[in-house]
């Protein structure tokens, strides 16, 4: 079960392997009321979803998580794990005894902007991730407190990539063609996650502190209404769609400015073209958001359905409810996709 523990909503998706085929066998979405208990929301989601498995994968994000792409001398994975703590001291702004570290060698060699020649085969790119132990312990405690069995704690941006991988394999660039990248962008409640993939492998990731809540606040201020009214209106604008678009335009302007800076950076430093933006998250449901992002970034942008192509166990899942919330399920689906490696 992929358990996406958002600040306002708990989302859970269960994926079961039937032979080699992944099948969605459970789904639940529970909103956390203001001042509400997240543990109670997890319990309600588990009851509502009628999940068969108690094996859970969750994820972390925010300021407690550090992700870096670093260049290191080529070495074996065992040697890398021994060397990474020494290297991490340069990149992690916490005491190393306060964090959990992990790393993974990447197939792409260091490109422009690093200290090494991209043609130097003695160097390799390494993905370094660190998370504060306190954050991890709180996450695990929340899961154990509901009688569930935590299997792994992932990072939101990488869960997006795992969900995308379920939809199909990446296209390889043809000989002589410039490499192409795809940007997975999830506009959540309080932050936006970006993961740029090239050949199916991450080459850039970032979180932006702008999300759907900022749009809701902008609507509430402009119309002089309460936040819960603004949230409902944002989902169902009716005849006020044009006014809502004007209200959220400044927020979208700030968001797309940061997205454009990120994509320009990765194109320059990785020598590739980011041609397509795949959007997910509740924030993209705001009126005109997708069109605005496409026009402002000058790249093709579209909503992405993370359950596209997956079979659904209709006897166990409310398909209509599941499909109503697909845009916000990319992280939960990506977490549950780890069943393939179990």
Spans of all domains in the chain: 66-131, 171-304
How confident is the model over 197-215, as a mean pLDDT? Answer: 94
pLDDT-based confidence at 340, cuts 50/70/90? Answer: confident
> What's the CATH fold of domain 171-304?
Nucleotidyltransferase; domain 5 (3.30.420)
> Mapping DSSP to helix (H, G, I), strand (E, B) and coil, where does residue 234 land?
helix
Question: Which residue, chain included where needed, has tokens 């990248």?
Answer: 181
| Residue with the larger pLDDT of the pair 11 and 112 | 11
pLDDT value of residue 168? 65
C-alpha span between 137 and 142 (Å, rounded): 9
pLDDT per residue as tens digits for the range 276-315: 999 999 999 999 999 999 999 999 999 999 999 899 999 9
Q: Which CATH architecture has domain 66-131?
A: 2-Layer Sandwich (3.30)
pLDDT-based confidence at 233, cuts 50/70/90? Answer: very high
Confidence check: pLDDT of 192 > 90: yes
Structure-token pair, residue 143: 């899961």
Q: How far is CA 302 from CA 55, 212, 339, in A?
A: 33, 17, 28
Note whether 66-131 and 171-304 share their fold: no
Contact status, residue 60 vs residue 135, Cβ threshold 8 Å: yes
What is the pTM assigned to this prediction? 0.91
Among residues 3, 7, 50, the alpha carbon closest in space to that of 313 is found at 50
């Amino acid at each position: 079960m992929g358990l996406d523990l958002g600040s306002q909503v708990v989302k859970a998706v269960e994926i079961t392997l039937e032979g080699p085929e992944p099948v969605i066998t459970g789904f639940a979405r529970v909103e956390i009321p203001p001042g509400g208990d997240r543990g109670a929301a997890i319990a309600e989601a588990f009851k509502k979803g009628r999940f068969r498995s108690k094996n859970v994968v969750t994820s972390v994000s925010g300021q407690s998580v550090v992700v870096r792409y670093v260049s290191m001398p080529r070495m074996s994975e065992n040697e890398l794990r021994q060397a990474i703590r020494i290297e991490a001291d340069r990149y992690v702004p916490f005491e190393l005894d306060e964090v959990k570290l992990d790393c993974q060698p990447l197939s792409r060699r260091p490109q422009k902007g690093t200290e090494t020649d991209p043609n130097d085969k003695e160097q390799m790119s390494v993905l370094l991730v660190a998370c504060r132990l306190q954050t991890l312990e709180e996450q695990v405690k929340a899961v154990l407190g509901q009688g569930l069995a935590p299997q792994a704690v992932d990072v939101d941006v990488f869960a997006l990539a795992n969900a995308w991988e379920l939809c199909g394999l990446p296209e390889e660039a043809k000989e002589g063609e410039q490499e192409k990248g795809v940007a997975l962008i999830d506009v959540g409640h309080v932050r936006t996650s970006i993961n740029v993939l090239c050949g199916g492998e991450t080459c850039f990731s970032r979180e932006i502190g702008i999300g759907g809540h900022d749009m809701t606040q902008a609507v509430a201020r402009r119309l002089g209404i309460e936040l819960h009214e603004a949230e409902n209106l944002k989902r169902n604008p009716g005849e006020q769609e044009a006014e809502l678009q004007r209200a959220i335009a400044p927020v979208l302007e700030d968001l797309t400015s940061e997205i454009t800076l990120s994509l320009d950076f990765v194109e320059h430093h990785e020598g590739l073209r980011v041609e397509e933006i795949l959007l997910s998250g509740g924030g993209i449901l705001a009126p005109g958001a997708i069109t605005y992002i496409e026009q402002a970034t000058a790249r093709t942008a579209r909503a992405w359905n993370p359950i596209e192509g997956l079979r659904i166990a209709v006897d166990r899942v409310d398909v209509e409810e599941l499909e109503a919330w697909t845009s916000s399920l990319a992280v939960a689906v990506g977490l549950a996709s780890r069943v393939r490696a179990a």
